[in-house]
Chain A
């Protein structure tokens, strides 16, 4: 056992920090010009614009430790926003299961951030039970195109997306997981209707998407017909480990302590309030343990071993921690947490804190609800079986 970073890793940290420092947004600089330049320069560093992509596809080919370092450093630096759907979710599927022609066609615009993707998996009747999806795709008699009909739900950013990667049903004669086909098609075309769903914080990010006779050429199918579930499942696991967001939480916890110090309590501040301080401490202890759970999981990944049982708890613990940070932010706002609307009332962080808390409720629902995650751990890690329904 040894937690020292190697000298290569230490050099890497310096290099990353220097890059972030050099490429900070300047006063009065146009955000999107800066963003484009930033990715351009990151690309020249050897694939830093697509850190998670393997070297074969132009990524940096980092070790797990380097990825970890990158994650940590990005939470402290100002880097341009990214949307995960194309870059982090579709790209691995294209690399793993797409043909060469599809890779050449779709990967470059994803990398250049010129095409926005959305993820069309969930449906009104297919949430946790995703394999229950019903959106139908029927192959034309000449075998050249599919006709897609049905509805997707909760599609994040569908209203600004150029393309969708979509799970469709091509066969419903066997078990649910069979007969699912993975299709890609443009969003801006006839037969596609996008309607907003407004969530608790009042924001419009998710949508329902209706398809009426949408034609999709067979060239836009990933892999074989009926095998879409296999392709998507690998991706879901990818999505789940990415949702723990621990480095972000470490950063946010420190931030929260700073906020709490601005809240006066008598002659002192909220960070010296015994009740509040105890809750922060409890959270921090949990976060410290989880950080090492992640490192243990990372170490076994570096050694090339199968992900150990500890990695299965990361999403659960990570999302719970994120929710607790948000809840404590609401508590810090005290009497001002209800304040809403355009103006900033009371503390500058009050409204953001309440919005953050409401939005944090998603974390234990999407990407595998917590209860479903625990089912998976019970089955796969503890080897437990369910009581049969008879």
Chain B
């Protein structure tokens, strides 16, 4: 039993931590978020140079052979600054799909650029009717000679605005909610027939609705096997859940610590508010939720590294806990900050909003609770 990070991981942790401290104060984040791009191109380049973008990829693909634990290390620190760069969408989700199912030639074509920071990916899976069910896919892909023709709509796609390629989940056979018959395609973002509607999300990030009208894609752009894409999709979703949960953990740490600090400084009724027992206990509760989430994240991450299949139930448990505890910590951080907590001026409100969004991504607390009970 060993929960220590390796020396290399500790180095990465420190360098990400420093990066976030130096570059991600609230005002910088707000101004980056409202810029045209929505994040910093310079930061993205630095992340590439520091080797973070290549971390989860195999050495043969230009990466550093890391795994989910390495991603955890990065994402947890990102969570402390609410980093805007598209690490999750491009590296964990888009890149993850290629890593898991891409042909050698697709990987050769895309991954080196991804690792160098010159190419970006996006991952389009959700649809209006699907809610949180991964297998609920209507967007269709019909075979025509050497091509597939895609039609349908994809929702809440992250980083589609700046992506060069989009991994699209579509149905090649079977009924609307069959796991069989799902196929993943790598589609050029500038393809004919592909149109996008971009919009901001409440946490300061961006997303897009994508419409596919007779978008043609060659069979050699299929990721994994035709009809058998669900396994890759599930696996990408699991990695994304681990990464998001790590980010949430970083955000929760900021929230409970900021609250402890604020209540020690703020005086009402001639006492620092931290002296009120009811607030002390509330902060202990926040701290406990944070620690429990950390334990569950470690558990789910290590089980995933060991044996992804048997980790599935734990991952449902993790996302349930992160959703529920994240909002508990967020709501109470706001409550204990009083009026200041509901302003845009303090960072607590921003972290709270990110946790709200994280709960809505890849299934909310309720969804994963129900999934958990099916095992």
**Interface, chain A (partner B; CB < 8 A):** 122, 125, 127-129, 132, 153-154, 197-200, 202, 206, 263-266, 274-276, 279, 327, 330-331, 333-343, 345-346, 354, 357-358, 361-362, 364-366, 369-371, 374, 389
Name which of B129, B131, B279, B364 has the most chain A CB atoms within 10 A of its CB: B131
Q: Is B145 an interface residue (CB 8 A)?
A: no
Number of interface residues of B (CB under 8 A): 51
Hey, what's the 0/1 contact readout for B88-126 against A, CB within 8 Å counting as 1? Answer: 000000000000000000000000000000000000001
Out of A128, A345, A361, which one reaches B331, CB within 8 Å?
Answer: A361
Determine whether the beta carbon of B200 is less than 8 Å from that of A371. no
Q: Which of B266-291 contact A (CB under 8 A)?
A: 267-271, 276, 278-279
Tell me which residues across on chain A come within 8 A of B369, comparing CB atoms. 275
Tell me which residues across on chain B come within 8 A of A202, comparing CB atoms. 344
Q: Which of B72-95 contact A (CB under 8 A)?
A: none
A53 to chain B minimum Cβ distance, whole angstroms, is 30
Q: For the complex, give the distance between the alpha carbons of A125 and B335 in Å.
A: 17
Tell me which residues across on chain B come within 8 A of A263, comparing CB atoms. 131
Tell me which residues across on chain B come within 8 A of A389, comparing CB atoms. 271
> What secondary structure prevails in chain B residues at the interface with A?
mixed
**Known contacts A276-B366, A365-B335: does B341 contact A336 (CB below 8 Å)?**
no
Out of A122, A153, A198, A357, which one reaches B356, CB within 8 Å?
Answer: A357
- Of B6-14, B202-210, B230-238, B308-316, the one touching chain A: B202-210
Q: Is B353 an interface residue (CB 8 A)?
A: yes
Closest to A362 in B: B342
Tell me which residues across on chain A come within 8 A of B267, comparing CB atoms. 125
**Known contacts A335-B126, A335-B155, A339-B207: does B344 contact A198 (CB below 8 Å)?**
yes
Determine whether the beta carbon of B364 is less than 8 Å from that of A154. no
Out of A154, A338, A370, which one reaches B203, CB within 8 Å?
Answer: A338
Tell me which residues across on chain B come within 8 A of A357, comparing CB atoms. 356
Determine whether the beta carbon of A331 is less than 8 Å from that of B364. yes
> What secondary structure prevails in chain A residues at the interface with B?
mixed
B155 to chain A minimum Cβ distance, whole angstroms, is 6
Determine whether the beta carbon of B339 is less than 8 Å from that of A346. no
Determine whether the beta carbon of B335 is less than 8 Å from that of A364. yes
Out of A129, A337, A374, which one reaches B360, CB within 8 Å?
Answer: A337
Name which of B199, B207, B341, B342 has the most chain A CB atoms within 10 A of its CB: B342
Q: Is B349 an interface residue (CB 8 A)?
A: yes
Determine whether the beta carbon of B209 is less than 8 Å from that of A335. no
Tell me which residues across on chain A come within 8 A of B132, comparing CB atoms. 334-335
Determine whether the beta carbon of B370 is less than 8 Å from that of A274. yes
Determine whether the beta carbon of B268 is less than 8 Å from that of A200. no
Q: For the complex, give the distance between the alpha carbons of A362 and B301 in Å.
A: 37
Name which of A122, A343, A365 has the most chain B CB atoms within 10 A of its CB: A365
Q: Is B26 an interface residue (CB 8 A)?
A: no
Out of A200, A264, A327, A341, which one reaches B343, CB within 8 Å?
Answer: A200
Q: Shortest 4 CB-CB distances between A and B: which pairs? A: A129-B268, A338-B201, A338-B357, A340-B202
Out of B155, B338, B356, which one reaches A336, CB within 8 Å?
Answer: B155
Tell me which residues across on chain A come within 8 A of B361, comparing CB atoms. 335, 338
**Known contacts A132-B268, A200-B349, A335-B360: does B202 contact A365 (CB below 8 Å)?**
no
Please, could you name 11 A-B residue pairs with CB atoms under 8 Å apart, sorted by A? Answer: A198-B344, A199-B342, A275-B369, A279-B366, A334-B364, A337-B360, A338-B203, A338-B356, A346-B128, A361-B331, A365-B341
A266 to chain B minimum Cβ distance, whole angstroms, is 7
Closest to A366 in B: B339
Q: For the complex, give the distance between the alpha carbons of A265 and B177 in Å.
A: 11
Closest to A265 in B: B131
Closest to B334 in A: A361
Q: For the complex, give the distance between the alpha carbons of A122 and B339 in Å.
A: 10
Q: Is B213 an interface residue (CB 8 A)?
A: no
A22 to chain B minimum Cβ distance, whole angstroms, is 40
**Known contacts A337-B356, A345-B209: does B339 contact A365 (CB below 8 Å)?**
yes
Determine whether the beta carbon of B335 is less than 8 Å from that of A361. yes
Determine whether the beta carbon of B338 is less than 8 Å from that of A266. no
B122 to chain A minimum Cβ distance, whole angstroms, is 15
Given A206-B339, A334-B132, A337-B202, 10 other A-B residues pairs in contact with their CB atoms under 8 A: A128-B268, A274-B370, A336-B156, A337-B357, A338-B361, A339-B199, A339-B202, A340-B199, A345-B199, A369-B338
**Known contacts A198-B343, A199-B344, A343-B199: does B156 contact A275 (CB below 8 Å)?**
no
Tell me which residues across on chain A come within 8 A of B126, comparing CB atoms. 335
Determine whether the beta carbon of A338 is less than 8 Å from that of B128. no
Tell me which residues across on chain B come within 8 A of A336, comparing CB atoms. 155-156, 360
Tell me which residues across on chain A come within 8 A of B370, comparing CB atoms. 274-275
Tell me which residues across on chain B come within 8 A of A371, comparing CB atoms. 276, 278-279
